[in-house]
Amino acid sequence: MSKNVMICDDDVDILEVTAIILQQKGYKVSTYTDCNDIFARIETNKPDVILMDLWIPEMGGANVTMLLKSSDKTKEIPVVIFSANNDIEKVAMDAGADGYLKKPFDIKTLENTIESMLVKVSSN
């Protein structure tokens, strides 16, 4: 069964191309331009991995990640911080994210990052 990837990014072009790449890889992809109602969305359509933009409205990707990681229902879902920010590695670590992907990216790196997250979950 194909895995679910949730992508949150306020830029629709990036959402679109990232979705194309991951769909070609056989993932089921759901895209969002904000993080409103993220808990409700997760409830109805639970993702296996979340790709989270840092500058997402309203509260920003780092804060959303911290919220996800503090809830028992969502803390097991791997979160990858997705940003053009130079300090992304530190920001991702501080927020408690499981990984990071710097923009612009190599599509191979995107694929590998998502895959490694899923491997991590299944080995747990």
Partner 1 sequence: MKPTLSVPDSITIHEQDTQELIKKLIDENLSLKKRNQELELLNNMAKTVVEDLDIKKIMQSVIDAGTQLSGAGTGAFFYNTDVSGSSYILYTISGESIEASSFILPDSLINAGDKVNQQVIRSNNITIDEVNFKNIKGRSLEGIGFKSYMVAPVISKTGKVLGRLFFTHKDSGKFTEKEEYLVSLLSAHAAVALEVSKLVESKESNLEHFRSMAESIPQMVWTGREDGYIDFFNLQWLEYTGLSFEDLKGMGWTKVLHPDDIEKTIKQWTAAVNSGEKFELEYRLKKANEINYRWHLGRALPIKNKSGQIIKWFGTCTDIDDQKKLQEKKDEFFGIASHELKTPITSIKAYVQLLERLLTDNSTAKDYLGRANTYIDRLNSLIADLLDVSKIQAGRLPFHISEFEFDHLVKDAVECVQPTLQKHRIIIEGEAGQIVRGDRQRLEQVFVNYLSNAIKYSPQSDKVLIRVSKNNKEVKVAVEDFGIGIPKENQEKIFDRFYRVEADCKKFSGLGIGLYISSEIVKRHKGKTWVDSTEGKGSIFYFSIPIKKDLKTAI
| Strand, helix or coil for residue 93 | helix
Beta carbon nearer to partner 1, 40 or 108 = 108
Which token pair is 97? 């994210």
Beta carbon nearer to partner 1, 86 or 123 = 86
With CB under 8 A as the contact rule, the residue among 73, 75, 90, 120 that binds partner 1 is: 90
Beta carbon nearer to partner 1, 5 or 68 = 5
Residue 115 is a binding residue for partner 1 (CB under 8 A): no
CB atoms within 10 A of CB 69: 16
Binders in 7-46 for partner 1, by CB under 8 A: 11, 13-14, 17-18, 20-21, 24
Query: How many chain residues bind partner 1 (CB under 8 A)?
Result: 20
Which token pair is 1? 């069964």
- List of residues 6+ apart from 15 with CB closer than 8 A: 7, 9, 31, 33
